[in-house]
Each structure stands twice: as structure tokens, then as C-alpha cells.
Amino acid sequence: MKQIELIYKRLPEQVSFLQQELIYEDETAIVTRQRVKPSSPLIIDGVTALDDNYTALWFIFPGKWYDMGKVYNRKDKCTGYYCDIILPMKRTISKDKQFVFTVEITDLCLDLWICPDGSYHILDEDEFELAVKNGWMDNTLAQRARQELNNLIQLVKTGRFPPAIVETMDIQKKTT
């Protein structure tokens, strides 16, 4: 089983080093799988969308300002898609031989949850406003983050999101 190291940065200075199973990569996407441990469950319209020990396929797209998790509950049913607005990822050769490579992402606080029916919910706007207020990101970056979120929402509204690779991958490594 191939592993990558994910360096996950949260503003202002929080850094986490995560080990993730690499299940697919090409020039358009890196796909990993992991069990998630959110700080609290995510409840959308009375339904638990994300909780401890749910499985996520994480899709990181070179050059894109977002990543996304395709989330599955404990019964392997897809509950939706969690999109983080991020700085475009940085990929480097790993210094640790246990990892194939290292990916670094910086979370820009805005998130988008997309339900399987195509409805969506903007998450963590309070964290975003706090980051802007405290100067953890400048106005130019804040405007870009907001624009990237709006771009994703437009893609969802027009039925062009999530990307095809996300639709075809599942937690058993199969494509449809």
C-alpha cells in the first residue's frame, strides 16, 4: 500500500502531518483514502453527513483552489462531498522513504458541503471572517478565496460539479 504525507496548514499557524493511502494519481488528480475524525459531527438537514470513522476519498487537483472529500458513512453509503477552499497544492519529493511524495495544502477557511441531491451548504464562514479580521490572510487572498467558493457554487448549480473523476471513484478503488 503506497502512502503519501499530507502537510495540512490551517491559519494562522497550525500544521498537521497526515499519512494517507494513495489510491490513484495522474496529471489531473491525486486521490487518497482515509478514515476521518472531525472535531464534531457535521449534521445537514437533520442527517449526519460526516462523523468519526466515516471514510473519505480525498481528491487534490494540481493548480486548483479547492480539494474535496467524497464522504461515506459506516455503511459505505456516500453522504456527500466536502470541499475545502485552499491555496493550490504543493507537491514535493518526500524526504521520508515511507512516503511516495509529500503534498502541502493551506486551508483558506471557507468550505462547501454538497449533498448527493446537488443542494449545498457554505460552511465555516465564521472562521473565514475571523481569519480576515485578524489579518491571517490579506484582502487580496480573502477576495480570491471567496471568488473560488462562488466558482464552485456556480459549477454545482449548473450540474458541472463534482468532476467526473470524483463521480467514478468509490471507496473500493473501483471505477464505474
Dihedral sign computed on CA atoms, order 30, 5, 113, 155: negative
pLDDT 10s digits, 39-70: 899 999 999 999 999 999 999 999 999 999 99
Residue 171 pLDDT class (50, 70, 90 cuts): confident
Q: Is residue 175 part of a domain?
A: no
pLDDT 10s digits, 112-135: 999 999 999 999 999 999 999 999
We report the CATH number of the domain holding residue 80 as 2.40.380.10
pLDDT 10s digits, 73-97: 999 999 999 999 999 999 998 887 8
Q: Is residue 176 part of a domain?
A: no
Domain membership of residue 95 as a residue range: 3-168
> Does the pTM exceed 0.85?
yes
- Is 175 a residue whose pLDDT tops 80? no
Q: Is residue 173 part of a domain?
A: no
pLDDT at residue 174 in the model: 44
Supply the DSSP string of 85-151, one letter for each residue.
EEPPPEEE--SSTTSS-EEEEEEEEEEEEE-TTS-EEEE-HHHHHHHHHTTSS-HHHHHHHHHHHHH
pLDDT at residue 173 in the model: 56
Q: Is residue 174 part of a domain?
A: no
